[in-house]
């Protein structure tokens, strides 16, 4: 195998790392937030559900990680060409 830098290969490696890193991220999220809910349940009920703030804030990060790992498409040369064509066709652009 050749060790020359290849942007497509690096992008593929990054995508694999994101996918492999998602499961541990989700497991830590679930375990930690379950612990917070249990602490809340045994110490402050029936009070304000303060773990919800952390669950919601961190949940946004988990969702963004999932989007990046499983749903985001890589940018291709065709995408760049299409965007350039669109950009050039707008009024006032050269």
Question: pLDDT-derived band of residue 2, with 50, 70 and 90 as boundaries?
Answer: low
11-49 residue pLDDT tens: 888 889 999 999 999 999 999 999 999 999 999 868 899
The CA distance from 30 to 43, in Å, is 20
The CA distance from 86 to 89, in Å, is 5
The CA distance from 64 to 61, in Å, is 5
Kindly report whether the global pTM for this prediction surpasses the value 0.85: no
**Shortest CA distance to 74 belongs to which of 16, 19, 20, 12?**
12
């Amino acid at each position: 195998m050749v060790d020359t830098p290849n942007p497509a290969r690096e992008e593929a490696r990054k995508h694999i790392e994101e996918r492999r890193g998602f499961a541990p991220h989700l497991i830590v999220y679930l375990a930690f937030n379950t612990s917070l809910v249990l602490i809340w349940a045994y110490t402050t009920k029936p009070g304000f559900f303060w773990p919800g703030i952390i669950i919601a804030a961190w949940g946004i990060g988990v969702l963004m990680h999932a989007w990046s790992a499983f749903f985001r498409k890589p940018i291709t040369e065709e995408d760049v060409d299409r965007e350039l064509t669109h950009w050039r066709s707008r009024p006032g652009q050269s």
